[in-house]
Structure 1
Amino acid sequence: MKIVVLGGGESGCGAAYLAKKRGLEVFLSDKSAIKDNYKQFLLENEIEFEEGYHTEEKILSADWIVKSPGIPKKAEIIYKIQEKGIRISSEIEFASEFTDAKIIAITGSNGKTTTTSLVYYILKKDELNVGLGGNIGYSFAKQVADENYEYYVLEVSSFQLDDIQNFRPYISLLLNLSQDHLDQYNYNYEEYALAKFRITENQENDNFFIYNKDDEMSKSILEKLEIKAKMIPFSTKEQLSEGGFIEEDQIVVQLKDKFSMKIEELSLLGTHNIANSLAASIAGKILDVNNESIRNSLMTFQAVEHRLELVTEINEVKYINDSKATNVNATYYALESMKTPTIWIVGGLDKGNDYTEIEDLVKRKVKAIVCLGIDNHKIINFFKEKKEFIYDTSSMKEAVKISKSLATKGDTVLLSPCCASFDLFKSYEDRGGQFKEQVLKD
Structure 2
Amino acid sequence: MYGLGRSGRGVARFLAAEGMRAQWHDARPSAEDLALMDELHFGRGNVGGPYRTVVAAPGVPIDHPDLLALQARGAELIGEVVLAARLRPGLPIVGVTGTAGKGGTTVLIASMLRACGVRAREGGNIDPPLLDVVDSAEVAVAELSSFQLERVPGLRLPVAVITNLGVDHLDRHRTVDAYHAAKLNITAGQREGDVLIVPDGLEVTTRAGVLAFSPARLVLSSGEEVLPAAELPDSIHPANAAAALLAAEAMLLRLGRPIQVAVLAAALRVAQPQRGRFETVAQVGGVRFIDDSIATRTIAVQAALERATPPMAWLVGGRDKGADLAPLRQAAQGRVKTVIAFGEDGEKLARELGLPFVAVSGTDGDATMRAAARAGLEALAGEGTVLLAPVGTSFDQFRDYAQRGDSFRRAALALAHAAEVQA
Q: Which runs of 5+ in 1 are unaligned?
A: 237-244
Q: Confirm or deny that 1:184 pairs with 2:172.
A: yes
**What TM-score, normalized to structure 1?**
0.85
Q: Secondary structure of the equivalent of 1:56?
A: coil
Q: Which residue of 2 aligns with 1:333?
A: 303
SS in 1 for 2:55: strand
The residue number in structure 1 matching 2:421 is: none
Using the alignment, how far apart are the partners of 1:303 and 1:148 within structure 2? 23
Alignment of 1:394-433 (within 5 A): 395-433=368-406
Tell me the CA shift for residue 371 of structure 1: 1.8
Contact 1:268 1:303 in 2 (8 A): no
Q: Distance in 1 between matches of 2:333 and 2:6?
A: 41
Distance 2:394 2:68 in 1: 28
Matched, 1:198 2:185: yes
Report the Cα distance in structure 2 between the residues aligned to 1:416 and 1:393, rounded to whole angstroms: 17
Output the CA distance in 2 between the equivalents of 1:80 and 1:86.
Answer: 9
Matched, 1:34 2:30: yes
What is the DSSP-based 3-state SS (H/G/I as helix, E as strand, rest coil) of the residue aligned with 1:440? helix
Of 65-74 and 190-199, the range deviating more from structure 2: 65-74
Could you tell me the TM-score, scaled by structure 2's length? 0.89
Deviation string 1:299-350 (CA, Å, 9 cap, x unpaired) is 1111111011101111322111000112111010000012221111112233
- State the 1:355 CA deviation: 0.2
d(CA) in 2 for partners of 1:170, 1:274: 24
Q: 1:96-107 alignment to 2 at 5 Å?
A: 96-99=85-88, 100-107=90-97
Q: Which residue of 1 aligns with 2:102?
A: 112
Alpha-carbon deviation of 1:209?
0.4
What corresponds to 1:86 in structure 2? 75
Q: Distance in 2 between matches of 1:151 and 1:269?
A: 25
Q: Report if the CA contact (8 A) 2:198-2:213 is conserved.
A: yes
Amino acid paired to 1:29: H
Distance in structure 2 (CA, Å) of the matches to 1:349 and 1:431 = 12
- Cα distance in structure 1, aligned partners of 2:373 and 2:75: 49
CA distance in 2, matches of 1:327, 1:191: 17
Matched residue of 2:211: which SS?
A: strand
- Secondary structure of 1:105's counterpart equals strand
Shift in Å, 1:285? 1.8
Counting matched residue pairs gives 403
Instruction: Tell me which amino acid in the other structure corresponds to 2:229.
Output: I
Q: For residue 182 of structure 1, what is the amino acid of its counterpart?
A: L
**Amino acid aligned to 2:380:** A
Q: Which shifted more, 408-417 or 393-402?
A: 393-402
Structure 1 ranges of 4+ moved more than 6 A: none
Q: Distance in 2 between matches of 1:114 and 1:126?
A: 19
In the alignment, which of 253, 267, 284 is matched to residue 314 of structure 1? Answer: 284
Across the aligned residues of Structure 1 and Structure 2, the Cα RMSD in angstroms comes to: 2.1
Determine the structure 2 residue equivalent to 1:16. Answer: 12
User: Is residue 2:198 matched to residue 1:211?
Assistant: yes
Shift of 1:49: 4.1
Which SS does the other structure have where 1:416 is aligned? Answer: strand
Is 1:388 aligned to residue 330 of structure 2? no
**Residue identity in the other structure for 2:270:** T
Counterpart residue number, 1:48: 42
Cα shift readout 1:252-271 (whole Å, capped 9, x = no counterpart): 3243x72432222212457x
Question: Residue 143 and residue 261 in structure 1: after superposition, are their counterparts in 2 closer, same or farther (change >3 A)?
Answer: closer
TM-fit CA distance, 1:40: 4.3
Deviation at 1:114, TM superposition (A): 0.7
Moved more, 261-270 or 156-165: 261-270
**1:393/1:75 Cα in 2 relative to 1: closer, same or farther (>3 Å)?**
farther
